[in-house]
């Protein structure tokens, strides 16, 4: 490098330094109201980046004095070797610094750490859609109960091994405090937030109470619009309405769970499902369906009901073996006004909303004893049980009795995150560990993706294409391969999208 280049480089560095000093002095000598043009709102990606679960985003508003922090989502990490460690990580000072929390819907990967946030000191409002509030009452209580049982079991052997005991992330008292902080709102209803921000929920068509979140955020002296897709529904799914399309935004965070593929058409999916059930009946085995308690279970019951009334369902014993799924199914029945009217006509749901009225062979097994009795049935039954990713719940006990039988059929109807038992089965594992025992997998595993409650790639691209004026897109809630595939598909449609990393902070 020559002397002239060195001098030019040094002069450039001095110029940059002087500019920074001048910028700081300008801020220092202006009133707070005049500082707004310097004070940009920021968005920090704290979860569901490079993975599907653990949704969490921190928004900091600096246009007002004092500044305000908003938390968008507070989700549980599910699957993977580090999930427990990450979930246990303290919120620290953030729990008391937050002015408000905004929640798109009630799935645990979006809301499952709310009671932990409250346990650590949060006392502000939790804004959510109306039906989400009712779901949270079921889901968070169930999560606390299951967690307590798991920790109790874990600590038994830790005591014997003289190892440190584990503590629950939260308990039922924390859940009760969390529910008292919830402030529910209807779709399309404008809500004022601290720091001059505004909020509107739109129907995402994913599960009961799911929403697209529109936030108006003061930033640099103007109002910026941030849109978070939440989980966008699959337009082919039953019971839910189609996701609303939004046309105006400055920044869009969009999920990418199935960014790498489209789902099979529903008609073909139902035919495949029917064929699997028929083969299981002919083979003399049971059908195990690990199902998410919210959304997927209700959709599966819908299709089983249709097959039953068409005379195409040979199994005469169907068990919904999940206390939480039972409560959620009963809630869906009470919330008929929120569901798709045309689909409800098919079910002909009576005023009482009793599922047995549209699927007479269905049995709701609430107690542990009823659940255990199912394992005495060696064939001809359909068992729908949680958890959806096979990472806990009663489905594990049914695996224990059925997974090693060639006549068994396991039907996977939802996304299986990396590191979960469900993902191992989908990936063709020949042996898996269930409740401490290693079992051979001789059952046939069927993955039926058409039942997904998430939008596929084409629907995601179509939803993104409705925005005008080319907003900045960030892809979240997806594994890296799915995100890159969606990024490419969006680019082919003229839409540029970035893939943020954990901890990345962007100015709005």
- Phi and psi angles of residue 237, each rounded to the nearest 5 degrees, phi first: -65, 150
Q: Length of the chain, please?
A: 508
What string of DSSP letters covers 352-371? T--GGGT-TTEEE--SHHHH
Query: Domain check: are 255 and 274 in the same one?
Result: no
Query: Domain check: are 441 and 462 in the same one?
Result: no
Q: Residue 354: what pLDDT? A: 54
- For 462, other C-beta atoms within 10 Å of its C-beta total 15
Distance CA 277, CA 270 (A): 11
Which helix (H) or strand (E) element contains residue 111? helix 108-111
Whether 345 is in a domain gets the answer yes
Q: Residue 64: what pLDDT? A: 77
Q: Quickly tell me which residue has 């599907």 as its tokens.
A: 52
Whether 2 is in a domain gets the answer no
pLDDT along the chain (508 residues), means of 10: 47 43 44 49 96 96 90 91 89 97 96 98 98 96 89 87 91 98 98 97 97 96 96 93 96 97 92 96 96 90 91 95 93 90 70 60 94 95 92 90 96 87 94 91 92 93 97 97 98 97 94
Q: Residue 15: what pLDDT? A: 45
- Joined tokens for residue 133: 């509030």
Residue pair 420/432 in contact (Cβ under 8 Å)? The answer is no
- Joined tokens for residue 219: 């930033």
Distance CA 389, CA 12 (A): 56
CATH number, domain of 78, equals 3.60.15.10
Beta-bridge partners for 69:
60, 98
CATH number, domain of 334, equals 3.40.50.10890
For the chain, the farthest-separated pair of C-alpha atoms sits apart, in whole angstroms, at: 89
Query: Domain check: are 463 and 422 in the same one?
Result: no
Query: Domain check: are 420 and 281 in the same one?
Result: yes
Q: Residue 416: what pLDDT? A: 87
Which range marks the domain in which residue 62 is found? 39-261+453-507
Whether 22 is in a domain gets the answer no
Query: Domain check: are 468 and 497 in the same one?
Result: yes
Whether 187 is in a domain gets the answer yes
Which helix (H) or strand (E) element contains residue 505? strand 505-507
pTM, two decimals, is 0.85
Q: Residue 291: what pLDDT? A: 85
Whether the CA torsion 138, 232, 52, 105 is positive or negative: it is negative
């Amino acid at each position: 490098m020559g002397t002239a280049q060195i001098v030019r480089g040094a002069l450039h560095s001095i110029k940059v330094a002087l500019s920074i000093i001048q910028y700081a002095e300008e801020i220092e000598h202006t009133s707070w109201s005049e500082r707004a043009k310097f004070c940009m709102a920021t968005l920090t990606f704290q979860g569901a980046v490079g993975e599907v679960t653990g949704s969490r985003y921190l928004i900091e508003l600096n246009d007002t004095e004092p500044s305000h922090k908003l938390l968008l989502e507070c989700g549980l990490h599910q699957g993977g070797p580090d999930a427990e460690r990450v979930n246990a990580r303290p919120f620290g000072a953030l729990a008391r610094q937050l002015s408000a929390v905004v929640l798109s819907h009630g799935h645990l990967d979006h809301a499952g750490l709310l009671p932990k946030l409250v346990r650590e000191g949060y006392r502000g409002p939790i804004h959510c859609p109306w039906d989400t509030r009712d779901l949270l009452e079921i889901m968070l209580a169930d999560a606390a109960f299951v967690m307590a049982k798991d920790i109790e079991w874990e600590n038994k052997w830790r005591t014997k091994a003289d190892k440190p005991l584990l503590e629950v992330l939260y308990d039922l008292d924390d859940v009760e405090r969390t529910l008292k902080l919830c402030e529910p709102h209807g779709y399309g209803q404008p809500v004022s937030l601290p720091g001059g921000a505004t909020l509107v929920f739109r129907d995402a068509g994913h599960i009961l109470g799911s929403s697209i979140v529109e936030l108006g955020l003061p930033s640099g002296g103007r109002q910026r619009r941030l849109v978070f897709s939440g989980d966008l529904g699959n337009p082919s799914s039953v019971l839910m309405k189609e996701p609303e399309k939004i046309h105006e935004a400055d920044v869009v965070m969009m999920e990418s769970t199935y960014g790498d593929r489209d789902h099979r058409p529903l008609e073909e999916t139902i035919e495949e499902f029917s064929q699997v059930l028929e083969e299981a009946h002919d083979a003399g085995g049971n059908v195990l369906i690990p199902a998410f308690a919210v959304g997927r279970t209700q959709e599966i019951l819908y299709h089983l009901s249709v097959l039953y009334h068409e005379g195409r369902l040979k199994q005469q014993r169907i068990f919904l073996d999940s206390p939480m799924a039972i409560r959620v199914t009963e809630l869906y029945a009470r919330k008929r006004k929120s569901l798709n009217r045309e689909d409800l006509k098919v079910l002909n749901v009576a005023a009482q909303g009793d599922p047995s009225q549209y699927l007479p062979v269905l049995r709701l097994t609430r107690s542990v004893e009823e659940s255990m009795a199912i394992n005495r049935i060696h064939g001809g039954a359909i068992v729908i049980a949680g958890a959806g990713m096979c990472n806990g719940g009663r489905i594990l006990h049914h695996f224990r009795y059925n997974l090693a039988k060639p006549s068994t059929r396991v039907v996977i109807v939802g996304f299986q995150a990396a590191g979960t038992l469900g993902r191992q089965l989908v990936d063709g594992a020949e042996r898996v560990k269930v409740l401490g025992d290693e079992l051979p997998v001789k059952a046939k595993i069927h993955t039926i993706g058409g039942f997904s409650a998430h939008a596929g790639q084409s629907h995601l691209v179509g939803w993104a294409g409705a925005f005008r004026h080319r907003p900045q897109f960030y892809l979240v809630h997806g594994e890296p391969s799915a995100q890159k595939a969606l990024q490419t598909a969006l680019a082919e449609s003229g839409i540029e999208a970035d893939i943020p990393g954990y901890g990345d902070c962007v100015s709005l």
